[in-house]
Amino acid sequence: MDREKMFALEVISKASVFTKKLQREKTTLFFEKDDKSPVTAADFGSQLLVMHYLQKYFPEDPLAAEENILELSEGKKPILEMITDLLSKEIEDFSFEKIIAKEENQRSKQNSDRLWVLDPIDGTKGFLRGDQFVVALALMKNFQPILGVLGCPNLNDQAEPDTKGNGVIAYAIRGQGTWIQDIDQPGTPSRLSVSNYANPAQARFVSSVDSTGHSNSDAIQSLKSHLHNQEEIKQFDSQAKYVMIAAGNFDVFLRFPPANNPNYHEKIWDHAAGTLIVEEAGGLVTDISGKRFDFSHGKSMEENRGVVVSNGHFHNEIVDFFSRG
């Protein structure tokens, strides 16, 4: 596992520095995907960067990643040129064509019990706004995350929002806890653990910025009323929320299928790394019916609905409230 850990920390550090630079310079192109969500040259660039190194160091391992890089060779030439230009400065032997060829070859022999799962920019809306986003990588074994790494360019080493610094990496290995370290000073990690707030009336809630498109804020409000909780809900994009809970800065993160898209199923790259990071910090992660995440149904989590992430102290109370309907 040491080799995988070293690899993942290094590649996520590179991808985090790369994307943060583009966020600061605002040099990124963006367009809408079919589901109307934005995607940028930085998303594709980050994914290609990770793919390059994954193919180099773990050529046998399959990858499930959010973006469809084949789109770049189908009518998105200006974006491909921009990305090639940017990545050639980072990677001496970068070649889009080689990555595509290796990926196709890899796809034909995917029968491994291992799978890497990547969101090259989780929280693209936050990225474009100058706010929170993360680069998320997990290694799955038999469909369970065993290594989770979140590059958080806009958090500090206390897992607090900080857009001025260089950012941190939070990571967890199953059975070995959750750790955080500076992106630019690796090797001095500190351990994270969830809060011990046990009174649900004082629980600190965190949710998506897109509280109606990615969730259902009415359902969260009704739970808060039930718990007599009047704390303000803080909103952040991306799995940075998982890191903030792992560090004890918040106690609950909830997400519901949105009212306008009740059949939405969460995607594995939006939760695999974050789940391990919270669990290894002592917290709990389930869907709104209390079921653990089932990552074994391809890219969508077909057997789960919604998300409940907590410090564990009143998780059952939350799940019970929603199960009663």
- Quick one: which segment of 14-22, 179-187, 217-225, 257-265 binds ligand AMP (CB under 6 A)? 257-265
Q: What is the closest distance, in whole angstroms, from the C-beta atom of residue 265 to ligand AMP in the complex?
A: 9
Q: Report the first-to-last Cα separation within the chain, whole angstroms.
A: 43
Helix boundaries (H) for the chain: 2-25, 41-57, 77-90, 96-107, 124-129, 217-226, 240-246, 272-279, 315-324
Beta-strand pair 38-40/63-65: unpaired
Token pair in block for residue 319? 């799940």
Instruction: Tell me the β-bridge partners of 310.
Output: 252, 284
- Of the candidate spans 10-18, 82-90, 149-157, 267-275, the one that interacts with Mg ion by CB under 5 A turns out to be 267-275
List all residues 6 or more positions away from 10 whose beta carbon is below 8 Å from its beta carbon: 53
Residue pair 295/268 in contact (Cβ under 8 Å)? The answer is yes
For the bound state, the minimum distance from the C-beta of residue 184 to Mg ion, rounded and expressed in Å, comes to 25
Q: DSSP 3-state helix, strand, coil percentages of the chain (rounded to 5)?
A: 35, 20, 40
Considering only 20, 52, 214, 305, the residue that binds ligand AMP (CB under 6 A) is 214
Taken as a whole, the chain contains a residue count of: 325
**Which one, 16 or 55, has the nearer CB to ligand AMP?**
16
Footprint on residues 107-146 left by ligand AMP (CB under 6 A): 122-123
- Cα gap 36→211, rounded to integer Å: 16
Tokens found for residue 321: 């409230």
Binding-site size, Mg ion (CB under 5 A)? 3
Stretch that binds ligand AMP, among 18-26, 106-114, 155-163, 263-271 (CB under 6 A): 263-271
Site string for Mg ion, 116-145 (x = CB under 5 A): ---x--x-----------------------
Q: By CB under 6 A, is residue 235 in contact with ligand AMP?
A: no
Under the binding rule (CB under 6 A), the answer on residue 68 touching ligand AMP is no
Interface size with ligand AMP, residues (CB under 6 A): 15
Residue 210 binds to ligand AMP (criterion: CB under 6 A): yes
Calculate the alpha carbon distances from 159 to 162, 182, 208, 239, 302 in Å.
9, 11, 17, 12, 31
DSSP state letter for 284: E
Q: Are 166 and 156 in contact (CB under 8 A)?
A: no
Least distance in angstroms from the C-beta of 66 to Mg ion:
6
Residue 214 near which of ligand AMP, Mg ion, none (CB within 5-8 Å, type-dependent): ligand AMP
* Chain residues 26-45 in contact with ligand AMP, contact rule CB under 6 A: 35, 37
Q: How far is the CB of 229 from ligand AMP (least distance, A)?
A: 20
Q: Which residues are catalytic?
A: 43, 124
Residue numbers at the binding site for Mg ion (CB under 5 A): 119, 122, 270
Q: Which residues bind ligand AMP (CB under 6 A)?
A: 35, 37, 122-123, 208, 210, 213-214, 237-238, 258, 261, 264, 267, 270
